[in-house]
Structure 1
Amino acid sequence: MKKTNSNPSMARSMGNKLSALAGAAALSVFAVGAMTADTLAAEVTLRLHQFLPAQAAVPKHVLIPWMEKIQKESGGRIEIQHFPAMQLGGKPPELYDQAVDGVADIIWTLPGYTPGRFPLTEVFELPFTMTNSEAVSRAFWELAEETMMDQDFKDTKVLGLWVHGPGVIHSKEPIKSVADLNGVKLRAPTRVTNAFFKNLGATPVGMPIPAVPEALSKGVIDATVIPWEVTGALKTSELVHNHTEFGDESLYTATFVMTMNKDRYNALPDDLKAIIDANTGLEFSAMAGKLTQDEDAPPRKMAVDLGNNNIELTPEQVAEWKGAADKTIKDWVAEMDEKGLDGTGLLARATELIEKHSK
């Protein structure tokens, strides 16, 4: 006669343990299988490097959705890893060379961070040239295809070119007239904007945008010029309480480039290149420009809600500033003409394209 287990509770306990072990083993196999499947699915891994925190407007509303779209449309065959706030090392002015050298596969930066290196892009940064960021971004891409891809950007595969919304002066003391800028230590983003504000009597202080909050809090600068959309991430409205706007005019804008290492792009299979191509270029640039300006509204409201002094200049006041801008524009055109870059023709063509897309 077969002997039965005299301890039913022990049997149940052993059974539960065996079931748990079997379940854990199954989960482990599933996890390894899933991980292997994901690894196999990602044929290409690209690293995107840029200078702002991930929660800032452009990364949040332009770069991250773009990465997700590429990954989805490639069926996971392209994986894009995001490295915000210079996490791969270096400083913002080094980003373009990181794309050239392959330190990063894709970068987003301001050409103006390396003064004089991308002279043709500066035409869109001249004061009071911009209408709205979508129209100017379209003009930027079209002019780049005509004049810049084989000159300024010849060493990389350009994915997108756009500009931000109207530049605003954020200052410790109210600024209404050009005379109010006299002696003000002011951070501006590019060579052109630094020359402009120097001509207006300010003392320009160059620095990448991530350095602005500390510079304001320590008194290194008295003011900065940036669009509203970036002020939320930088907490500018908490550091200074005066914001000067120029009505329907735009004091200035700055240009952006999103670009890719040429070898990495050329090594992609044709079908993956096609996915990249379908999500870059003119329409992507226009969309990025529009989304960037759309994001001006929430941080502006934040400044209003804080009770800050939002100074909206009248057309008569703006006219004074526009008159004072003439020297910067003429100097830039003459400089480009001297270098054989046809500043006269470049400004005329940029103006023509902006007008076309602003209608």
Structure 2
Amino acid sequence: MKTLVKSAALAAIFGLGASGVYAQEVTLRFQHFVSPASANPTHFMEPWARKIEAESNGRIKVELYPFMQLGGAASEMYDQIAEGIVDGGWVIPGYEPGRFPETEALELPFMVTKSAEEASRAAWEFSQAHLMDDFADVKVLAIHMHGRGLVYKKGPAISKVEDFEGLKLRGPSRPVTLLLEKLGATPIGMPVPQFPESLALGVVDGGVITYEQAPSLKLDELTDSHTDVAGDMSLYNLYFIWAMNKDSYARLPDDLKAVIDANAGLEASAWAGRAHDTGDAEGREVLRAAGHEAAELSEEATAEIRALGDEVIAEWIAQMDAKGYDGAGLVADARAAVEATRAQ
């Protein structure tokens, strides 16, 4: 009996649990702004958190807080992480227009493929050359893109460019709102959490978003149709980072830092992208089962939109040049990263 008591005391002193593994040493709180049932939380964030816990032998616990449960707005996520309000989280730089302008190179029309995994690999590589200084306030764990961007709306699906005329459409980033404006729509920028209510209240007629977000946003109920472009390049895309507070990381002992590092980088970025590809397949099935009208624009209509997209790109290059960036160089490097990924 004395031996058991002594062993328990030693276990407590040295942080050992009854199973012989190290007891939890740190809890990391990660926050995001979407439903826990949506693709990235389901297929990336949650498994990533459990993998960190398993590989740390339970010494790290990762808590995930959806719907901004720890407070703040989706547009504040980068500063929340940088300032240590949370230990980590999910950031859409495009929710803060003008702050991270180089990220927009990958969000330009028809820039990346419809494969989120491919696009995410390209985003990681492009970012190593152009964006890590911009994100110096945080520890970047993964950089990724979502899957194909679609146009959802109330009423019949879009079948020609003229159908965009006069529609009030939600847009998540500056590049896509510029394209929507070229198409004759009235773009209304808003983070994804505001989209369902805006549809229900008639603030917007529809908007651009992915397949995977459809179920959690109830787009099968709030809209009647969705439209894709022809070909293997996405109408638009969105750039994300999965990041950690630098002090939270620095406080970890070296062996636990190694666990975080082993689950960061190119392959973590690809994993986050695959989560969206998986979610797209699931969301597409939900829409099909609901009888949601699905349409794909003709090659001719898609070519018209691409021509307008080229105008957006040319104007974006000029704007970036005026700010002191090499706009054409950024576009060329983004395209090269995408092509390199497609060649793998």
TM-score (norm. length: structure 2): 0.91
**How many angstroms apart in 2 are the aligned matches of 1:195 and 1:331?**
10
**How many angstroms apart in 1 are the aligned matches of 2:230 and 2:218?**
23
User: Which letter does structure 2 place at the counterpart of 1:183?
Assistant: G
**How many angstroms apart in 1 are the aligned matches of 2:91 and 2:127?**
16
- Post-superposition offset of 1:40: 7.2
Deviating beyond 2 angstroms after TM superposition, the runs of 4 or more aligned structure 1 residues are: 35-40
The reply to whether residue 226 of structure 1 matches residue 209 of structure 2 is yes
| Alignment counterpart, residue 335 of structure 1, candidates 319, 323, 330 | 319
**How many angstroms apart in 2 are the aligned matches of 1:263 and 1:341?**
31
Instruction: Report the equivalent of 1:274.
Output: 258
Q: Deviations over 1:334-359 (max 9, x none)?
A: 11111112111111011011001112
| Alignment counterpart, residue 45 of structure 2, candidates 63, 88, 93 | 63
Instruction: Report the equivalent of 2:82.
Output: 100
CA contact (8 A) 2:39 2:212 kept: yes
Q: Deviations over 1:102-147 (max 9, x none)?
A: 0000111211111111111111100011112222211111111111
The reply to whether residue 356 of structure 1 matches residue 340 of structure 2 is yes
Instruction: Report the equivalent of 1:15.
Output: none
- Post-superposition offset of 1:176: 2.0
Instruction: Report the equivalent of 2:269.
Output: 285
CA contact (8 A) 2:39 2:278 kept: no
Coordinate RMSD, CA, aligned: 1.8
Matches within 5 A, 1:93-172: 93-131=75-113, 132-150=115-133, 152-172=134-154
| Structure 2 residue runs without a partner (length 5+) | 1-7
Matches within 5 A, 1:284-303: 284-303=268-287
- Post-superposition offset of 1:229: 0.5
Q: Deviations over 1:223-275 (max 9, x none)?
A: 11001001111110111111101132310110111111111112211111111
Q: Deviations over 1:287-345 (max 9, x none)?
A: 21122122111211222222221111121221111112111111111111111121111
- Determine which structure has more spread, i.e. the larger CA radius of gyration: 1
- Post-superposition offset of 1:183: 1.3
**How many angstroms apart in 2 are the aligned matches of 1:251 and 1:123?**
14
Instruction: Report the equivalent of 1:54.
Output: 36
TM-score (norm. length: structure 1): 0.87
The reply to whether residue 347 of structure 1 matches residue 326 of structure 2 is no
Instruction: Report the equivalent of 1:313.
Output: 297
Q: Match of 1:108, SS?
A: strand
Instruction: Report the equivalent of 2:4.
Output: none
User: Which letter does structure 2 place at the counterpart of 1:107?
Assistant: G
Task: Figure out how many residues of one structure are paired with residues of the other and give that number.
Answer: 326
Q: Deviations over 1:50-106 (max 9, x none)?
A: 001111111011000000000000001111111111000011001110001100001
Instruction: Report the equivalent of 1:197.
Output: 180
Instruction: Report the equivalent of 1:23.
Output: none
Q: Match of 1:85, SS?
A: coil
Percent identity of equivalent pairs: 46
**How many angstroms apart in 2 are the aligned matches of 1:237 and 1:330?**
36
CA contact (8 A) 1:51 1:109 kept: no
**How many angstroms apart in 1 are the aligned matches of 2:176 and 2:304?**
17
